[in-house]
Structure 1
Amino acid sequence: MELFGSSGIRGVANETVTPSFCLRVGMAVGTVVGGERVAVGRDTRATGGMFANAVVSGLQSVGCDVDRLGALPTPGVQLYAERESVPAVMITASHNPPEYNGIKLVGADGIELPVAELERIETALDEDGFARARWDETGDARSIEGVREAYVEEVVDAVDRDRIADADLTVALDPGHGAGALTSPKIFRELGCSVVTVNAQADSHFPGRDPEPVPENLGDLGRLVRAADADVGIAHDGDADRAIFFDERGEYIEGDATFAVLAAGVLDADATTVSAVTASQRLVDVADRANATLERTPVGSTQIISRVRDLESEGRSVPVAGEGNGGVLFPNYRLARDGAYTAARFLELLVDRPASEIVADVGDYHNVRTTVDYESDAEREALLATVARHAEASPGELDTTDGYRLDFGDAWVLARESGTEPVVRIYAEAREASRAHDLADDLETALEAALADA
């Protein structure tokens, strides 16, 4: 599966992702999984409306009626798909920079399409295998009202609203000008919280910060937490299927730590949790304490969701899954990443203790994340060959589930090719910050040398 990568199609808008391409994707989706109706939503990116129009035209051309949902978070699109039993196309590039856009595909059950379906769609695209309708059998399109409101109500009703409201929490929120700006402020106010915001106006150019909720983009949120004496800071990515947190002191909480504390509340000896090969030792520790099982997959929500589906079909309990990037799933609620719901579950934990105390329970690990960019196939091949040689020469225990992960007992390091950008990503974790930096720096130095020679 080349086109859809680890989390859908992504690319620079009007260069690698174009209206003509989106038209063909719409035709392929309608041909393979469309049925009579398909929903189309988008995030707040400047090119979202243009690409949504192209997808709608493609769907209509193969005979599908289209429900246009407008701008809203990806989990809101998934809720609509599930309730209406229709597949959906979401126009989003999630956490990628403003110049990017892309496509995620959702089944009529509200869950991202499995790999097998995505491969069928890719085949239709490759072969121009579109079931074009006669001129008098093309589809119609209609705009759907109230979709955002339905999503807000769903999240609020799914958690203990009274308990959260009684705690009188103050939430500092940074939706980063993305789709979460249209729904999350209302969700947290409906939960009885006082809400202060930054970057909370939907804006297609993302003037306040880039969509990715990483520490270097979230300085304003940390300052807002401190200035407002808030109990927690919450940040979303561009389509609001992820949530990242700051504690009551205005300090960034590693996404791995948040995932671990949320998992700790629901795992038991009969349960399994699923995460990517990037899974933190924090999650390993939580699973071990609960006598639960941890399964690792390649990176990306598509891979994690597919594995959860397989496990549930075997009758196994999977109460929580996800990644340390803020993308957490609670399958008993919905098999979908949902930033606002994840944040609401975290608010339930804050009723009893402050955030800093909660995350202290999952250990003091240090993480390093970095990337090495490449510009050509030759550079890509040089980088991947260097990673392979580095892994083969290392004394660490090797895991090749996705890239090369080396486990040293006290620490681990992973290098893998991104599924959404022309970069090789490096991850490292250790109890000591210096150890994590050394592991990442050694690998980055080797890769930079390979680029110089490529």
Structure 2
Amino acid sequence: MVRMAKLFGTNGVRGVFGEDLTLDFISKITLSIASFFKKGPILVGYDGRESSVVISKIVTAALSSLGLDSAVCGLVPTPCLQFATKKLGYNGGIMITASHNPPKYNGLKVVAKDGIEISREDELKVEEFYFTKKWTISKKFGLIKKESNAVHTYLSGIKKQVNSSKIKSQNLKIVLDLGNGAQAVTAPILCKEFGCETILINEKIDGTFPGRGSEPTPQNLDKLSSMIIKSKADLGIAFDGDGDRSIFCDETGKILTGDRSALLLSKYILKKQPKSTIVTSVNSTFVIEKIAKDSESQVLRTKVGSVEVSRKMVKENAIIGFEENGGFMYGKHNQVRDGSMTMAILLDLLASSKNSLSKEMGMLPPSFTTKGKIECSKDDFKKIVKILKTEPYKKDLIDGIKLSLDDSSWIMVRLSGTEPIARIYAESYSQSKLDEIFAKYLQKVKTTLDR
């Protein structure tokens, strides 16, 4: 058994600011991160949450007290900080964000010098420093500077991966739902540089996320959908709070799932680069195996979590990585989820195609997915797994429990690493079959919890 982290969840350290994420805790966990890194400089960035600036001051002070130099790049999307950490020669990075969590939350994502979040093993090393309190306060404080090149470096890196002149020639009209989040700093600039006519929604950065909440879901993107139809735009894109995930909307106003978008982008990339490796989590679509087969590529599956996918991509030299939640990773740029890089690939695809986005999507093999969540403790989750283990289907226990019901249908339940809930995922070949499967197993889970 691999020892489980106590402070790190699926994606960094998170908590409710002022409750479990106190200033004292932030100081101590940063001392632990500094002890792990041993030396600077460390790049520090943050999202638009109301507590982020205060936390950044605690973080830089703690780094300084252990003698590590740091530089603050200010309010940026998570992938911007990650790429800048790698390209500008920092020994590590700390991104202050709680991604899609509600406004009262915040957290820290720890980035290694390669621009990718530290591994699960390294998270345990940070925690060991935290619990043993083996910090060595330095006689000489580290310097705290500003880093003003992060955004330019990030956008330049993205543009190198696509055919900018071809995108410019198409004069695409795009609607961006920035979700009051950090991509407001970068995505509109990128679209302008690509020659796109851009319409902005929820463009004002606001840590309370008043527009639609911090997570883009099919249920809260009505405004994006209607604006696309009203303005006759070619496509729309919605980002999450820290800008590492993106959800697409086609020209008819249809919101696309993260899985379907990932299939489209993967198919496009694999046409140009066959015999490649794709890494994805165990809860994403089975159709990726079909698309990979057409280009003699292979698919590797991991536990849920961008860290798991990213680190496996590095190990296997994979060109594509993705999660079902709209997190897409392009290895040639950086092996991390990146909302703006994903947008650029989609624009590149549309610039090279005579088809609309809806027509491109229509050429993918059919599949239907859904997901839900239910309040659940760790003990309750053990009961769910025990009951589902009695089902007469092939089981995958890499992360929670996944039942393969037939060649094209599956159900999966896992305990969230960021909230006290269980997440339920399902996929099938038709909407009616999917509805039937999901209703059956949701009821089974609820019945188990009521016992």
Are residues 1:423 and 2:421 paired?
yes
SS at structure 2 position matched to 1:306:
helix
| Distance in structure 2 (CA, Å) of the matches to 1:387 and 1:233 | 39
Encode CA deviations 1:157-197: one digit per residue, 9 max, x unaligned. Answer: 43211111111100100110110011111111111100001
Pairing partner for 1:28 from 20, 32, 46:
32
Partner of 1:113: 118
Aligned residues: 441
Partner of 2:321: 321
Encode CA deviations 1:207-234: one digit per residue, 9 max, x unaligned. Answer: 1011111111211111111111110110
Give how far 1:66 is off: 1.3
Give how far 1:437 is off: 2.0
Are residues 1:75 and 2:69 paired?
no
| Distance in structure 1 (CA, Å) of the matches to 2:53 and 2:274 | 47
What amino acid sits opposite 2:366 in the alignment? D
Are residues 1:333 and 2:333 paired?
yes
Encode CA deviations 1:198-254: one digit per residue, 9 max, x unaligned. Answer: 101111111101111111121111111111111011011111111110000010111
Are residues 1:124 and 2:129 paired?
yes
Partner of 1:61: 65
Structure 1 residue ranges (4+ consecutive) displaced by more than 3 angstroms after TM superposition: none
| Distance in structure 2 (CA, Å) of the matches to 1:395 and 1:402 | 19
SS at structure 1 position matched to 2:198:
strand
Is the Cα contact below 8 Å between 1:92 and 1:102 reproduced in 2? yes
Give how far 1:434 is off: 2.2
Matches within 5 A, 1:393-408: 393-408=390-405
Give how far 1:446 is off: 2.3
Are residues 1:167 and 2:170 paired?
yes
Give how far 1:300 is off: 0.5
Give how far 1:442 is off: 2.0
Partner of 2:375: 373
What amino acid sits opposite 1:393 in the alignment? T
Matches within 5 A, 1:381-396: 381-390=379-388, 392-396=389-393
Partner of 2:301: 296
| Distance in structure 2 (CA, Å) of the matches to 1:149 and 1:386 | 48
Encode CA deviations 1:343-398: one digit per residue, 9 max, x unaligned. Answer: 11011111212111111122221111100113xxxx431233123312x2222211
What amino acid sits opposite 1:289 in the alignment? D
Is the Cα contact below 8 Å between 2:313 and 2:319 reproduced in 1? no
Partner of 1:177: 180
| Distance in structure 2 (CA, Å) of the matches to 1:224 and 1:266 | 29
Percent of aligned pairs with the same amino acid = 30
SS at structure 2 position matched to 1:429:
strand
SS at structure 1 position matched to 2:9:
coil
Give how far 1:154 is off: 2.7
Pairing partner for 1:97 from 92, 102, 105:
102
Give how far 1:269 is off: 5.4
Q: TM-score, normalised on structure 2?
A: 0.95
Are residues 1:445 and 2:443 paired?
yes
Q: TM-score, normalised on structure 1?
A: 0.94
Partner of 2:410: 412
Is the Cα contact below 8 Å between 1:387 and 1:447 reproduced in 2? no
Structure 1 unaligned runs (5+)?
Answer: 313-317
Partner of 2:279: 274
Structure 2 unaligned runs (5+)?
Answer: none
Is the Cα contact below 8 Å between 2:161 and 2:332 reproduced in 1? no
Matches within 5 A, 1:300-311: 300-311=305-316
Is the Cα contact below 8 Å between 2:158 and 2:333 reproduced in 1? no
What amino acid sits opposite 2:371 in the alignment? R
Encode CA deviations 1:322-356: one digit per residue, 9 max, x unaligned. Answer: 11211111112212221101111011111212111
Give how far 1:34 is off: 4.2
SS at structure 1 position matched to 2:319:
strand
Give how far 1:404 is off: 0.7
With over 3 angstroms needed to count, the CA separation of the structure-2 counterparts of 1:204 and 1:380, relative to structure 1, is same
SS at structure 2 position matched to 1:265:
helix
| Distance in structure 2 (CA, Å) of the matches to 1:113 and 1:146 | 23
Is the Cα contact below 8 Å between 1:248 and 1:354 reproduced in 2? yes
Encode CA deviations 1:280-301: one digit per residue, 9 max, x unaligned. Answer: 0221221122221111100011
Matches within 5 A, 1:206-285: 206-267=209-270, 270-285=275-290
| Distance in structure 2 (CA, Å) of the matches to 1:207 and 1:17 | 23
Is the Cα contact below 8 Å between 1:222 and 1:252 reproduced in 2? yes
Give how far 1:115 is off: 1.9
